[in-house]
Structure formats: C-alpha cells, structure tokens
Chain A
C-alpha cells in the first residue's frame, strides 16, 4: 500500500516536472523569420479575433454573420490593402492569449486599453471614445450623479476588468462591488439591478441605452451624459510593429476622409464619440 502511494506520488511529480520542462524548453513553433505583416501580405489574408459587443461588433444569432461599425471599418482597412479577413471568435478575457499564441494577428472590437494590458499586447491609437453609463432601479431617488454611489451599503454591479470596475475601485471605495465575470453577456451588471442583486450597474452607455428601452424596472442614471469616456482601440501582438503601423495608418486615413464617423452613424450608436479633426494654424 505504501509502495503504491509512493509510486503514485512519483508519477504525478514526474508529470508536473515534464510539463515544466516543456514550458522551459524552446517552443515547437518554427523560428519566425518574416514579420507577421510580411506573412499577411504574402497570404493576402489577415486573421482577426473578434469579441461581440453590439452595435460595434454584432454576430447575427441565427446566421453567425458579422456586422457592426467596427467590423465595417476594419473591412475597409483590409479592402484598401487587398486583404481577405478571416474571423475567429475570441473572448474578452482570452484575446491577449489568442494574439500571443498566434490564433489571430489582430484583435478587433471596442477594446479599452489600460497600462496593465499594454504589457502583454500592443494597441493602435484610439479611433473612437465610448461613453460609460449605468442604471439604477426605476423608483430610485438617492442617486443623481456617479459620486452619489460612493456610500456605505450601496451595491454596484460591474464586469471584472471593465472600465466600470476599474473606476469603482478607484473612485467609489465606500460602495460594495458586485464583480461579475466577463463572459459574452454584456448585460450582466444591468440584470443584477433588474433582479435586485445590486443598487446600480455600470457598463458602457450603448448597452445601457438599449437595455432601459426594454426594461422599465430600471432607469438610465446618466441619461445621455456619460460619467466618463474611454478610448477604443484594436490590439496586436507586442512585437508586431509593422502591423501596428499599418492599422494606425488605416485609422488615420479613414478618419481623414470621414469614413469612421459616417460608418458609426449608420448604426446609431448611443454614447460613442468620434475623434475631432483638429487644425493648427502654422505661422
């Protein structure tokens, strides 16, 4: 019996050591001689991870067809470079790993860049700003501004890692946070208010706007005035500077010809803000 136990322990340790050895060993991936962008141009194809977030990225439930203004904008960048776009679905928590393991070349969605995230992936320059909003119960009278939520006993539902979560941790320390997992369900903080699990739910304004239309039991706390805005970007692997330059140039060009704002307007996104074209008089 003792012998069996010893063998079992040794076998498990051997498996764990083998896994560590695999991690430490050089990877099985062939050394990259060409850059990602060279490979993209050679194949005339770019593989893109997407995460759904209507109306910027919409996956039609019945057909799986992708649409949304961020998809349209990326398609335009690819079209101008004669690239075919191959889409693969990712998750909000998993897209950095998908980029870094080569499952895709770029991540395309309404991504919010943070300093922490930029240690593992690179971000393009912002091409939109998205408003942040929230809901409270329909009959709620205690809250008029976001600062009113910073009180003992107030429960705020947020999605882990989302702007609302980061903001609440920093600026609403007296409130109790109900931190929900970041799945594909972007309504989670709002349904927490609908079901009485939280006093307020924070999420992007576009989600709030659509949700309150269908759910009279809650109201938009900030109406059309988001309590803050966050920059929206795309992401690439950390070392893919050429691809990053390409995407940045694409964004700049489409902004300069008015394509970004015109495309977004087609989808009437609430709480999304374009970039102001600024002119400086040189004298």
Chain B
C-alpha cells in the first residue's frame, strides 16, 4: 500500500496561477474552434467544388493534417517555420494555428458528410425555383445538413479542448504548463495534476451537456 501525504493548500496559495492557466486554455480553445471551423468550411467547399485547382489541394490538406500527430505539428510549426520563412510567431499563435489546422481538417470532412447527405433533388429543386448557389446552400442545404453535422462536430470541439494541453510542449502557459510550473515551486505534483484533471472536467462536462441539448433540439 502506497502512503502519500496529500496537501491541497498549495492550490489555494497559487489559485491565480491556476485561474490564469484555465483562462488561457479557454481562450486557446475558443479561438481554435472559431478558426478551425472557418478553415473546415472553406476546405469542405473546396473539396465539393468541381474545379480541380480547389478540389485536389483540399483533399491533400485534409490528408496531411488528419494524418500528422498534433504534437509533431506543433513542434514543427514552432521550430521549423522560423528558419524556413524567416518569421517568428509566439508560442500561443503557433498553438492556435496548429489546433485550427487539425480541427479544420477533421471538421471539413464532417461538413462535407453533412452536405452530401442532403438528397441531390433538393439542390435541383432550388435551382428550378431560381435560387442562387449561395441561397441554396444557406437556406436549403445547410439547415438540413446540420442534423448530420452537429453530433460529430461537437465531439471534435470537445477533443480540441483536451488537445490544448499539448501546447505545453512549446511553453504556452495553458492549464497543464501553469500546473507544471506550480509543481516546480510547490513540489506537490499529485495535488496539482488532480486539480488540473478536475478543472478539465469542470470545463468539459457543462459544455458537453449544452452541446447534447443543442443536438436534441435540432
């Protein structure tokens, strides 16, 4: 039997650090989901296009960013981009770009699956009624496609929250990295990791229930 002396008082002493890490995790999640969804929709429309100049780069984008492990992508973006392009972007921006590219690749396929699930007759009828392509997509296709899109997309969004912890590898001060810094000062690793796990649940469980309600109301 392993005996460990637990002491959670350190969490209260350094609550600002934990709070700050949580806020950065939320910020990173929010902007990654926003940017990733926009990228996903763009790539989806490109892949659905009949123009090969749009279609094939979209296929390649999805293949590359779905297959690359996010951890490797983050490290590559952070360390390999500066010598290649002569640009230096912050660790937070690197994490945001990496998470968005990853989400974009997966959400593009989710959007596409939803759109192609709508019977072709709907598009043909819209054209017959004189609707433009934009109007058809906005008013006819997407409202029906969202039934197929929302469940897997919410899964990806929740996955994105969890994936933000990988940003600690490039020293983004998100929840895990803040916690690791706190451990180096407090020497209380198990207490800190327990609180980090608890906070992820606090973030994810309410969000999951909101998304489930949204799913039921569709």
A contact set with B: CB distance below 8 Å:
7-8, 11-12, 14-15, 22-23, 27-30, 52-54, 58-64, 89-91, 94, 97-98, 100-103, 183-188, 191, 194-196, 207, 210-211, 213-217
Per the 8 Å Cβ criterion, residues 70-108 of B in contact with A are 75, 78-79, 82-88, 91
Whether A195 pairs with B14 at a CB distance below 8 angstroms is no
Given that A12-B63, A184-B168 are contacting pairs, would A195 and B180 also be in contact in the complex, using a CB cutoff of 8 Å? no
Segment from B34-42, B169-177, B205-213 that makes contact with A: B169-177
* Structural contact, A194 and B59, CB atoms closer than 8 A: no
Q: How far is the CB of A1 from chain B (nearest CB, A)?
A: 13
- When C-beta atoms are compared, the residue in chain A nearest to B88 turns out to be A103
A61:B84 contact, CB within 8 angstroms:
no
Cβ-defined contact, B82 with A102, below 8 A: yes
Majority secondary structure, B binding face: helix
A59 CA / B86 CA spacing, docked (Å): 30
CB-contact partner of B63 in A11, A54, A63, A191, under 8 A = A11
Given contacts A191-B190, A194-B190, A214-B187, contact A61 B86 (CB under 8 A): no
- Specify which chain A residues have a CB less than 8 angstroms from the CB of B17 in the assembled complex: 61-62
CA A36 to CA B17, docked complex, whole Å: 35
Binds A, one of B1-9, B25-33, B137-145, B148-156: B1-9
- Which range holds the interface residue count of chain B? 35 or more
| A103 proximity list for chain B (CB < 8 A) | 82, 88
Given contacts A187-B189, A214-B7, A217-B5, contact A90 B171 (CB under 8 A): yes
Cross-chain contact A7 with B5 (CB below 8 angstroms) = no
Indicate which residue in B63, B169, B183 contacts A187 across the interface (CB closer than 8 Å): B183
13 A-B contacts (beta carbon < 8 Å): A8-B56, A11-B56, A11-B59, A11-B60, A12-B60, A12-B64, A29-B83, A52-B181, A63-B16, A94-B169, A188-B189, A191-B189, A214-B188
Chain B residues whose CB sits within 8 angstroms of the CB of A217 once the complex forms: 2-5
Task: Return B158 CB to nearest CB of chain A, in Å.
Answer: 24
**Minimum Cβ distance to chain B for residue A157 (Å):** 12
Given pairs A61-B181, A62-B14, 20 additional interface contacts (CB within 8 A):
A7-B59, A8-B63, A12-B60, A14-B60, A27-B86, A59-B185, A61-B185, A62-B17, A64-B173, A91-B170, A94-B170, A97-B79, A98-B79, A184-B181, A185-B180, A185-B189, A187-B183, A187-B187, A187-B189, A216-B5
